[in-house]
Amino acid sequence: MALTGKISVIIPTLNAGRVIGTLLNSLNEQSVRCEILVVDSSSSDDTVSVASSCGARTLIIDRGDFDHGGTRNLGGKAASGDILVYMTQDALPAGRASIENLVRPIAMDEKTGASFGRQLPGPDATPFAAHLRLYNYPDNSSRRRLADKSRLGLKAAFISNSFAAYRKTALEETGWFKEGVIFGEDMLAGARMLLSGFELAYEAGADVYHSHNYGVFQEFRRYFDIGVFHEEEKWLLREFGSAGKEGWRYVLSELSYIISRRAYHLLPEWVIRNCLKLAGYKLGQVHRRIPARTAKLKSSA
């Protein structure tokens, strides 16, 4: 069945010269035609010229004006597509049908407000990075409705703008992405869509390579930010439930992953990582009570 509706791919960038050409060439070879819009934060390398040479439209903003939600809103409102695909500069489609498979749930069902694809670990992924992707992005597709919050909790609203598609009218109806958040603009948009009666789709056949080999202190900073996010968006936890049980499931799954691969030498690092993640999260939740310099820690995500 043919897909209908114009597709726009929006990619925020900063000094992406080494990777943007490969990504854009892959997008130009996709099985569906896409408008490509690069929103660049005044890169000091050749990101913009490479993007233009690959046929992408470019918007340039001041580096200090970048905002996870606001920059994506700027791109979405400037795009001409009925379906908006958001990617990060370090994600790479795994096949020619990645975009087609990602947008299909939206194109085929008006109840679907957004969909997100499967993120596969890159070839250089550490066991910790690989497990994170395998845990959050399984090989079976699924749909999520508001009623699923009783079963999935906060995970019912999970969606990742590293590779996600949105019905533009659904984003408009639910107020676009929230601006000024430390991150998590994608989960907030997913939650508001569920509360407005839309459904979210996870499409395992829409896959990209995307992973990060975070060090232990990068993990600490990232979980600090998660704690800040959950503290500042308390309504999200009230509406969908605490992330605590899911966190413990993840920790145990990671332990099982390490043991199943007989990577016993990683067990001390596993302990340190999870202690620092818990400490970071708890500190993030009380960030208003600690010195401002510490509270401004940013993740490297």
- Kindly state whether residue 199 falls inside one of the protein's structural domains: yes
Alpha-carbon distance of 222 to 219, in angstroms, equals 5
Question: What's the whole-number mean pLDDT along residues 163-188?
Answer: 96
Axis crossing angle, helix 185-195 with helix 68-78, rounded to the nearest 10 = 70
User: Which of 190, 209, 228 is the endpoint of a domain?
Assistant: 209
Q: In DSSP terms, which residues pair with 200 in a beta bridge?
A: 114, 144
- Kindly state whether residue 123 falls inside one of the protein's structural domains: yes
Q: The domain that contains 43 carries what CATH number? A: 3.90.550.10
Alpha-carbon distance of 111 to 104, in angstroms, equals 12
Whether residue 191 is found in the same domain as residue 225 = no
Query: Residue 294: pLDDT above 80?
Result: no
Whether residue 201 is found in the same domain as residue 222 = no
CB hemisphere CA count around 81 (13 angstroms): 26
What pLDDT score was predicted for residue 90?
A: 96
Whether residue 87 is found in the same domain as residue 66 = yes
What pLDDT score was predicted for residue 244?
A: 67
Whether residue 174 is found in the same domain as residue 221 = no
DSSP string, 110-163: TTEEEEEEEEEPPTT--HHHHHHHHHHS-SS-EEE-GGGHHHHGGGGG---TTE
Which pLDDT band, with edges at 50, 70 and 90, does 263 fall under? very high
Whether residue 202 is found in the same domain as residue 238 = no
Which pLDDT band, with edges at 50, 70 and 90, does 122 fall under? very high
Instruction: Evaluate whether 177 touches 68 at the Cβ level (below 8 Å).
Output: yes
* Digit-coded pLDDT (tens) for 21-55: 999 999 999 999 999 999 999 999 999 999 999 99
Whether residue 91 is found in the same domain as residue 239 = no
Which pLDDT band, with edges at 50, 70 and 90, does 242 fall under? confident
Whether residue 23 is found in the same domain as residue 129 = yes
Whether residue 183 is found in the same domain as residue 107 = yes
Taking alpha carbons only, the member of 43, 45, 86 closest to residue 68 is 86
Domain enclosing residue 164, as ranges: 7-209
- Kindly state whether residue 91 falls inside one of the protein's structural domains: yes
Whether residue 20 is found in the same domain as residue 101 = yes
- Kindly state whether residue 300 falls inside one of the protein's structural domains: no
How many CB atoms neighbour CB 293 within 10 A? 7
What pLDDT score was predicted for residue 71?
A: 97
Residue partners of 284: CB distance under 8 A and separation at least 6: 223, 224, 225, 226, 227, 228, 229, 230, 231
Question: What's the whole-number mean pLDDT along residues 58-74?
Answer: 97
Which pLDDT band, with edges at 50, 70 and 90, does 298 fall under? very low
- Kindly state whether residue 139 falls inside one of the protein's structural domains: yes
Least confident of 182-196, 209-223, 241-255, 259-273: 241-255
User: Which of 181, 209, 237 is the endpoint of a domain?
Assistant: 209
Which pLDDT band, with edges at 50, 70 and 90, does 297 fall under? very low
Alpha-carbon distance of 214 to 218, in angstroms, equals 6
Whether residue 61 is found in the same domain as residue 144 = yes
Whether residue 119 is found in the same domain as residue 19 = yes
Q: Six-digit token pair at 228?
A: 């800040």
Q: What percent of the chain lies above the pLDDT cut of 90?
A: 90
Helix or strand or coil: residue 93?
A: strand
Q: Provide the CA 127 distance to its chain's centre, in angstroms.
A: 20
Average pLDDT, the chain: 93
Helix or strand or coil: residue 209?
A: strand
Instruction: Evaluate whether 11 touches 23 at the Cβ level (below 8 Å).
Output: yes
- Kindly state whether residue 301 falls inside one of the protein's structural domains: no
Query: Residue 258: pLDDT above 70?
Result: yes
Whether residue 180 is found in the same domain as residue 62 = yes
Query: Residue 228: pLDDT above 90?
Result: yes
User: Which of 182, 209, 236 is the endpoint of a domain?
Assistant: 209
In angstroms, how far is the first alpha carbon of the chain from the final one?
A: 37
What pLDDT score was predicted for residue 301?
A: 38
- Kindly state whether residue 222 falls inside one of the protein's structural domains: yes
Which pLDDT band, with edges at 50, 70 and 90, does 293 fall under? low
Which pLDDT band, with edges at 50, 70 and 90, does 165 fall under? very high
- Kindly state whether residue 1 falls inside one of the protein's structural domains: no
Number of independent structural domains in the chain: 2
Alpha-carbon distance of 247 to 277, in angstroms, equals 10
Q: What angle do CA 135, 161, 51 make, to 5 degrees?
A: 125
Q: Could you give the residue ranges of the DSSP H alpha helices within the chain?
A: 20-28, 47-53, 68-78, 98-108, 127-136, 149-152, 168-173, 185-195, 216-232, 234-240, 244-260, 267-285, 292-295
